[in-house]
Structure 1
Amino acid sequence: MIDVQRLRVLRAVAEHGSFNRAAASLRLTPSAVSQHVAALERSLGSQVVARSTRGVTLTPAGRIMVGAAESVAAELEHAQQQVTELRTGRVQLTVATFTSGGRLLLPGALAELTAAHPETVLHVREFEPEESLPLVRQGAVDVALAYHFDGPLPGQPGQSPALEWTPLMDDPLHVVLPEGHRLAGRDELGLAELAGEPWVLGCLKTEAYLRRYAVRAGFDPEVRGTTSDYFFARSLVAAGMGISLIPSIALAPRIPGLRAVPVRPPAPARHIGVATIGHRRAHLQLATLIGALRTEAAVPDAG
């Protein structure tokens, strides 16, 4: 039988990429970490890590076992939560969200949830998707309001337990320009028309996304500023630093002197949805929350 502690140690090794850093996170010695991994390999009859001067990487067998470790951790967390609910008679629900989506969609949805289930104790934690989705897998949060651009969900897709993704809405990106800009009167813009413009952007992921689309449009964007806040990015546009690419739900509150112009298809967009562990969707409070988020996303002002 596989030892749960050895799985926990392997998971830490995978997360940190070395025995020393895993040992520090677990408050063990590197020797103890190495012994746990070696014992796991003996019990499996397979190597789970490959060691090199550049660190430690997982073997195919190791990836399988880390997936199992995620499942075990999530189930233990869920079981502990259920026991707490039995003891206290109160249901705990932890929601992770990214900032702009939480500001638009969560308040109304949480109000509906608490009206329907006033005994629920809610916790809200702010994370970007690459952080929140692994937390859902680990059982540290019950549900994540998240987004992705092109391609799969972020946060180590494909590991077990599998996430179930419920799409809520598409969030197209707009070009934000000063009202006096030569292109501000257009109904839509192609990115190729913006070659040579200086840019200020609201997050690193938007910069990476802009660069991919700019390559298709035949230019290399000149990025003069990157922030972690879309409102700040729009403020810099208003100050004359350049133009920006902003998701539609991050265009409020309005800043005087700016114009947001849709991008001509194929337009870049964020895809917003809810991530849960599939078998937990029957949880009454969780089902209520997801339904309320769908309602909020369907409101015309939500995009």
Structure 2
Amino acid sequence: MIDVQRLRVLRAVAEHGSFNQAAASLRLTPSAVSQQVAALERSLGTQVVARSTRGVTLTRAGQIMVGAAESVAAELAHAQQQVSALSTGRTQLTVAAFTSGGRLLLPAALTRFTAAHPHTTLHIREGEPEDTLPLVRQGAVDLALAYHFDGPLPVGPAPGDRLTWTPLLDDPLHIVLPHGHRLARHDALDLADLAAEPWVLGCLKTEAFLRRFAERAGFSPDIRGTTTDYFFARSLVAAGMGVSLVPSIALTPEIPGLSTVPITAPGPIRHIGVATLGGRDRPHVSAFLHALCEEATRNHGHGSAASPASAPGRGRGRPPVP
């Protein structure tokens, strides 16, 4: 039999990339972590990690076992919820969300859901997709409002992955400039028009996205400021620090002295959706997902509603893969 504790240790090693960091997260010694992994390898008859001076990486067998560890954690979390519901008469629902998407979509969805499901206790966790999607896989959260730019989700699929992605909105990015800027009155701008401008950005992932699109446009952006908040970034633009690249739903509340200009198509887009764990019937999760889909449709003016082929409830499936 495979020891569940050893799977938990392997999952921590995979997450942190080293025995030392995994040990710190588990409050164990590095020696204890190494022994647990070695014992797992002996029970399986094969290596699960490849050790080097740069740390540890998973072997193919290790990847399979980490996928199993995620499934075990999710099943145990689900069982704990069921037992808790038996004793309290209340179901539990934990929702994770990134800041700007949560601010736009969660309040009305929460109001609608709680009115219809008064015996469900809600918990909200804020976080970026690279942090919250693994929590969905582990069963620590029931669904995550998340996003990805062009390309795959920030956390790729695991072996036997049951993660399901429901698209909600396409969220185009816009150029934000001071009112008096020479380009502020244009109907649309190409990124090449801004090659000489200094930039301030409200998200580290936006920086990587900007650099990729700027390279296609033939320039390297002069980035003067990086923040983790789009409102702060727009405040710096208003103060004359530069221009910014901001998703549509993060353009409110308005800041005096700023102009917003669309990017010439095809421009960069942030894709917003919900990650859930497939494979079981969970009515309260489905009900909250439906509430989010309704709220996304109601707020489609802040972005673009998902196309009919990928509309909420019809385009579910595995997330994009590299």
| Residue in 1 that maps onto 2:264 | 264
Question: For 2:265 and 2:163, how far apart are their aligned partners in 1?
Answer: 30
Question: For 1:67 and 1:99, how far apart are their aligned partners in 2?
Answer: 28
Q: Which amino acid aligns with 1:78?
A: H
Question: For 2:233 and 2:21, how far apart are their aligned partners in 1?
Answer: 36
Aligned pair count?
302
| Residue in 1 that maps onto 2:308 | none
Query: Residues 3-18 of structure 1 correspond to what in structure 2 (within 5 A)?
Result: 3-18=3-18
Q: Deviations over 1:239-264 (max 9, x none)?
A: 11111100000001111111111101
Q: Contact 1:137–1:160 (CA<8 Å) still a contact in 2?
A: no
Q: Contact 1:70–1:160 (CA<8 Å) still a contact in 2?
A: no
Question: For 2:177 and 2:121, how far apart are their aligned partners in 1?
Answer: 43
| Residue in 2 that maps onto 1:108 | 108
Query: Residues 90-239 of structure 1 correspond to what in structure 2 (within 5 A)?
Result: 90-239=90-239
| Residue in 2 that maps onto 1:86 | 86
Whether 2:284 is the aligned partner of 1:291: answer no
Unaligned runs of 5+ in 1: none
Report the identity percentage.
75
Q: Following TM superposition, where does structure 1 have runs of at least 4 consecutive aligned residues deviating by more than 4 angstroms?
A: none
Q: Which amino acid aligns with 1:158?
A: A
Moved more, 20-29 or 135-144: 20-29
Q: Deviations over 1:56-79 (max 9, x none)?
A: 211111111111111111111111
Whether 2:270 is the aligned partner of 1:279: answer no
Question: For 1:105 and 1:27, how far apart are their aligned partners in 2?
Answer: 37
Q: TM-score, normalised by structure 2?
A: 0.91
Whether 2:3 is the aligned partner of 1:33: answer no
Q: Which amino acid aligns with 1:101?
A: G
Shift of the alpha carbon at 1:31?
A: 2.9
Q: Contact 1:98–1:146 (CA<8 Å) still a contact in 2?
A: yes
Q: Which amino acid aligns with 2:128?
A: E
Shift of the alpha carbon at 1:271?
A: 0.1
Question: For 1:53 and 1:165, how far apart are their aligned partners in 2?
Answer: 37
Q: 1:173 to 1:262 in 2, by over 3 A?
A: same
Q: Which amino acid aligns with 1:297?
A: A
Q: Contact 2:162–2:279 (CA<8 Å) still a contact in 1?
A: no
Question: For 1:103 and 1:110, how far apart are their aligned partners in 2?
Answer: 11
Partner SS state of residue 279, structure 2 = helix
Q: Contact 1:96–1:141 (CA<8 Å) still a contact in 2?
A: yes
Question: For 1:18 and 1:190, how far apart are their aligned partners in 2?
Answer: 43
| Residue in 2 that maps onto 1:49 | 49
Shift of the alpha carbon at 1:160?
A: 4.2
Question: For 2:252 and 2:30, how far apart are their aligned partners in 1?
Answer: 50
Q: Deviations over 1:101-158 (max 9, x none)?
A: 0000011111110011011111111000000000111111000000000111112433
Question: For 1:5 and 1:161, how far apart are their aligned partners in 2?
Answer: 21
Partner SS state of residue 10, structure 1 = helix
Whether 2:241 is the aligned partner of 1:241: answer yes
Partner SS state of residue 103, structure 1 = helix
Moved more, 20-29 or 57-66: 20-29
Unaligned runs of 5+ in 2: 304-322
Query: Residues 57-76 of structure 1 correspond to what in structure 2 (within 5 A)?
Result: 57-76=57-76
Shift of the alpha carbon at 1:202?
A: 0.5
Q: Contact 1:134–1:156 (CA<8 Å) still a contact in 2?
A: no
Question: For 2:67 and 2:271, how far apart are their aligned partners in 1?
Answer: 26
